[in-house]
């Protein structure tokens, strides 16, 4: 009978330890979820505020084709550090695209491709670049996250150079669509 009691007591203590661990894990999960929800709500609001500030800033600058799209591109690139591309698409583009498209000399195809390349760059640079996390998942253990972050630098530079080339040679982005579908 004593052996049964000892086994039962040991089993109860093990259950108590498991229950305490489960409660701690549940509390940690709820806290992580709450933090994620707060950040998820704050980032789009921050993006709207940033976009409105950028919109006000470019209205204060000279009216020219070179200024406003450049400020929008810089704002989108910087937002890529703290927001996912889909959040930028849903929050920032509806604010900045209409005034940009209303400007004379701004081709909608060129603007769309510039924004797409800019958003593609946000998929590659830290800290929120999903590409980095995908690569971390398939990379061997001897390759550190720091190595991945350093290794992505040339590709981000290539993307930024592509943006500069598209900026100064907009025909690269618009020639084929205009040839296929007509246009300017």
**pLDDT tens, position by position, 88-102:** 888 888 888 888 888
In a domain, residue 22? The reply is: no
34 located within any domain = no
Least confident window among 40-44, 67-71, 85-89, 102-106:
40-44
Using DSSP's 3-state secondary structure scheme, residue 81 falls into coil
Structural domain of 60: 41-181
* pLDDT attached to residue 81: 79
Which 8-state DSSP code applies to residue 33? H
- Alpha carbon 45 to its chain's center: 15
- pLDDT, tens digit, 9 for 90 and up, residues 113-168: 989 998 888 878 777 777 887 888 888 889 888 888 888 888 888 988 888 888 88
Q: According to the model, what pLDDT value does residue 1 have?
A: 54
Q: Is the dihedral of CA 110, 112, 113, 119 positive or negative?
A: positive
Quote the number of domains for the chain.
Answer: 1
Nearest 5°: the CA angle 132, 137, 138 is: 100
Residue 2 lies in a domain: no
Q: Is residue 125 part of a domain?
A: yes
Q: For residue 132, give the 3-state DSSP assignment.
A: helix
pTM over 0.75: no
Mean pLDDT of the chain: 76
Quote the DSSP letter at residue 61: S
Using CA atoms, how far apart are residues 128 and 84, in angstroms rounded to an integer?
Answer: 7
Is 164 among the domain residues? yes
Domain contains 65: yes
How far, rounded to the nearest angstrom, does the alpha carbon of residue 71 sit from its chain's CA centroid?
18
| CA 122 – CA 106 distance, rounded (Å) | 23
% of residues, the chain, pLDDT over 70: 73
On whether residue 52 sits in a domain, the answer given is: yes
CA 46 and chain centroid, separation: 13
Query: Is the pLDDT higher at 77 or at 58?
Result: 77
Looking at residue 20, what is its pLDDT?
Answer: 77
pLDDT of residue 63 exceeding 60, the answer is no
59-68, 83-92, 134-143, 173-182: which range is least confident on average?
59-68
Task: Tell me, yes or no, whether 56 lies in a domain.
Answer: yes
């Amino acid at each position: 009978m004593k052996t049964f009691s000892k086994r039962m007591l040991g089993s109860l203590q093990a259950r108590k330890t498991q229950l305490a661990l489960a409660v701690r894990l549940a509390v940690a999960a709820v806290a992580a979820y709450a933090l994620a929800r707060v950040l998820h709500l704050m980032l789009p609001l921050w993006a709207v505020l940033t976009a409105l500030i950028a919109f006000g800033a470019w209205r204060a600058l000279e009216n020219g084709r070179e200024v406003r799209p450049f400020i929008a591109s810089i704002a989108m690139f910087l937002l890529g550090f703290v927001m996912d591309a889909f959040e930028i698409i849903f929050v920032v583009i509806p604010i900045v695209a209409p005034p940009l498209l209303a400007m004379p000399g701004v081709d909608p195809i060129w603007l769309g491709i510039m924004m797409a390349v800019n958003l593609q760059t946000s998929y590659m640079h830290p800290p929120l670049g999903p590409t980095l996390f995908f690569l971390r998942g398939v990379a061997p253990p001897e390759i550190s996250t720091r190595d991945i972050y350093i290794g992505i630098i040339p590709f981000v530079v290539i993307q930024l150079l592509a943006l500069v080339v598209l900026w100064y040679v907009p025909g690269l982005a618009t020639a084929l669509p205009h040839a296929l579908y007509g246009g300017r």
